[in-house]
Amino acid sequence: MKTGLLQKTFSSQSRSPRAGIARPPPVMVKQLRIHVAQTGLSVMTARKTKEQLAEEKEAAAQVALKFVRSGMRLGLGSGSTADCFIRLLGDQVRHGALRVSAIATSKVSERRAVECGIPLIRPVRGLTLDLGIDGADEISPDLELIKGGGGALLREKVVERACRYFVVIADSSKLVERLGAFPLPVEVIPFSLPWVLDELEALGAKPMQRMIPGDLGQPYCTDQENYIVDCHFGVIEDARALERKLASTPGIAEHGIFIDYANAALVAHGREIIVLRPGHPASPLSAPEAACLEESIIPK
């Protein structure tokens, strides 16, 4: 495994890249602590401007790009952060630095990939994608996610389940202590909408059907011609239990709780990239940490 590129890219440390992952120093732990508001919802550090968050999205996408290798088959996400990654990837493809193929999680991302010169492939039986890169609306410390704010949750789950390794990229505003501040998107088969709304309300949600902004009375439809219901649950105490209940409700095509999907998250926090992986403490992306990720993403 070649780690020279990553060692030059990230701040070097004296430890060997194979020595494992060190716990972050107390100062970093303090910086990473999530301050919980009276509502029980949480945010990471102080509020930032749109410009600052845009810079963080770009930074996370740039780091994710360093794990892409020629010959990979990629899963391309949807949304503003994934769009940064698609644009950066397209630059590398156009200049001949990378040769890849991809499947996108939405028609919007498909069009963006075509514009950027990224070759697209279709789903076929037996196909495993090497690496998926996508954003998220909320990320908990144990990598439970809320996704689908852009309405692409069904295809996102399909594509990201087909990825051997799935990395979430995000700005610091997406890191929460518990899911629930962001309304949970639920994709609903149109015929079943009235009954599904009743079921969601019985589960404790305040469900609202998503409408097209500025088009009075016109429902938003997904790429699969389904409806989206945005569910305001407040703090979700047990995401796994809610996931099971939603999955067993007839008429729900898919929901935006993603558990056991992400292998890692790269969260930009100012000039720093924070790495989250299941079973490991959050830590800054150092050369050893990058090498551990590279070893997981790129099999020998």
Domain ranges for the chain, please list them.
4-177+260-297, 184-252
Residue 14 pLDDT more than 50? no
Res 28 pLDDT > 50: no
User: 184-252: which CATH topology?
Assistant: Alpha-Beta Plaits (3.30.70)
- Which sequence positions are flagged as catalytic? 156
The pLDDT value recorded for residue 38 is 32
Listed range (15-19, 144-148, 153-157, 159-163) with the worst mean pLDDT: 15-19
Mean pLDDT of the chain: 87
Average pLDDT, integer, range 132-148: 97
SS3 for the chain is: CCCHHHHHHCCCCCCCHHHCCCCCCHHHHHHHCEEECCCCCEEECCCCCHHHHHHHHHHHHHHHHCCCCCCCEEEECCCHHHHHHHHHHHHHHHCCCCCCEEEECCHHHHHHHHHCCCCECCCCCCCCECEEEECCCEECCCCCEECCCCCCHHHHHHHHHCECCEEEEEEHHHECCCCCCCCEEEEECHHHHHHHHHHHHHCCCEEEECECCCCCCCECECCCCCEEEEEECCCCCCHHHHHHHHHCCCCEEEECEECCCCCEEEEEECCEEEEECCCCCCEECCHHHHHHHHHHHCCC
Task: Note the pLDDT tens digit of each residue in 81-121.
Answer: 999 999 999 999 999 999 999 999 999 999 999 999 999 99
Average confidence (pLDDT) over 136-146 = 96
**Beta strand pairing call for 272-276 and 264-269:** antiparallel
Topology, domain 4-177+260-297: Rossmann fold (3.40.50)
- If pLDDT is split at 50, 70 and 90, which confidence band does 44 have? low
* pLDDT at position 15 over 50: no
CA torsion sign for 155, 157, 162, 164 is positive
pLDDT tens-digit series, residues 240-283: 999 999 999 999 999 999 999 999 999 999 989 999 998 888 88
